[in-house]
Amino acid sequence: MSDLPSDSFAARYATEGFGIAHLPYGSFSTSDSDTRLGVRIGEHVVALTDLVSRDSDLFPLVDQPNLDALLTSDRPTWDRLRADLQSVLSSAADAERIASAAHPLAEVALHMPFTVADYVDFYGNEFHAANVGRIFRPEQPPLLPNWKHLPVGYHGRAGTIVASGTDVRRPHGLRPEADGVPSYGPSRRLDIEAEMGFVLGSPVPDGRVPLSEADNHVFGLTLTNDWSARDIQAYEYVPLGPNLGKSFATSISPWITPLAALDAVRVAPPARDTPLADYLDDAAERPWSFDVTFEVVLNGDVVANPPFASTYWTAAQMLAHMTVNGASLRAGDFFAGGTISGPEKNQRGSFLELTWGGEEPVALSDGSSFTFLRDGDEVTLRAEAAAEDGSTIRFGECTGRIVESPTD
């Protein structure tokens, strides 16, 4: 993109992280317009209907309130749309027209960018899984026997996935007590999980998406915070897994970064030390991890930098696994790769790990010490990646503030 005309819209309005090499999609509304699909350049959003010709076969897919219609389409269509957007945004001839149609971000409201079909949350990071094992099951090996043979995951609640900026009400539930009789009340161990989310499309009614097909079904990526009430979760989760400890809220960034924007940061996942079934064996496949480091920001303090590339299982493996039994893939299916942690203490993507089960409080810049989330606390996830043209890609932020839950 070195030939970007200096008087094009992209050249004039791009900011670091949101240039022509990024172009994340989102759903926005203004005070005088309904919700529309848009693309972000710098601190502006432009409706896709202002960038795609009415004569184009792409127009019906983008003349929409969100990505749902586009997700029913396919990789060649997604690539063609991105190329068209890059072309028009780079054109000097269109710059004035686009500038007059663009909306400053400060003047728009952002919404959930797609309708979530099914949501699967994986547990794909070895450092996280081993930390959790050490904290909860100190007498056992940190990883359970199945962990290196398949990407462990479970279905979460699609209906409570919310866009960044939505307040998160502290959940009530049954909390474990020393006498074995649970108490009912607000969670005392409210936590985050810093994760990468993957938005899926190009439906496969009979399932079975092999590793080699993952590029055709992963539309884009988004920062994801899978809020977790550790006390509720700990009491309920045997034997059928997490339920109310997770189902109250999962926040995602309203900006979906196209998969195609991340080619420059594709890297191989950690070395595999356990032989895999053929459908999971990615030794000969295109690398499917991403060199993206998160920032976990608590009330303005950066408290952790989880490195996504430390995740053992890749998104391609997760997709192959969740469909290998014949389960259909629908447009709008969504999965997250699991809490991201690295080998260092400041790389842990949950407060459960950062404070080692609440036993090692973290000092904050305001002089307080911290274990689990308090009412009023605000958590923001950020992440950056290198683009192919040498610029930077900034993922859209994922923010949520904890508010008191209503009394009973």
CA distance 340 to 337: 8
**Which residue, 181 or 284, has its beta carbon nearer to its own copies?**
181
Rounded to a whole number of angstroms, the minimum distance from the CB of residue 123 to its own copies is 6
Our CA dihedral for 315, 25, 258, 195, rounded to 10 degrees, sits at -30
Q: In this structure, are residues 128 and 345 in contact, taking their beta carbons and an 8 Å threshold?
A: no
Active-site pick, 103, 111, 128, 172? 128
**Which residue, 11 or 112, has its beta carbon nearer to its own copies?**
112
**Which residue, 233 or 371, has its beta carbon nearer to its own copies?**
233
**Which residue, 275 or 367, has its beta carbon nearer to its own copies?**
275
Question: Interface with its own copies by CB under 8 A: which residues?
Answer: 117-118, 120, 123, 144-146, 149-150, 152-160, 169, 171-174, 180-182, 184, 206-208, 229, 232, 235-244, 247-249, 275, 277-279, 321-322, 324-328, 330, 333, 405-406, 408
Rounded to a whole number of angstroms, the minimum distance from the CB of residue 179 to its own copies is 11
Rounded to a whole number of angstroms, the minimum distance from the CB of residue 46 to its own copies is 31
**Side-chain half-sphere exposure of 325, counting CA atoms within 13 A:** 4
Rounded to a whole number of angstroms, the minimum distance from the CB of residue 183 to its own copies is 8
**Which residue, 102 or 318, has its beta carbon nearer to its own copies?**
318
CA distance 306 to 349: 6
Rounded to a whole number of angstroms, the minimum distance from the CB of residue 154 to its own copies is 4
Please confirm, yes or no, whether 22 is among the known catalytic residues: no
The rounded Cα 262 to chain-centroid distance in angstroms is 14
Identify residue 312 by its one-letter amino acid code: Y
Rounded to a whole number of angstroms, the minimum distance from the CB of residue 225 to its own copies is 16
Q: In this structure, are residues 294 and 340 in contact, taking their beta carbons and an 8 Å threshold?
A: yes
**Which residue, 100 or 407, has its beta carbon nearer to its own copies?**
407
CA distance 312 to 315: 10
- Residues designated as active site: 128
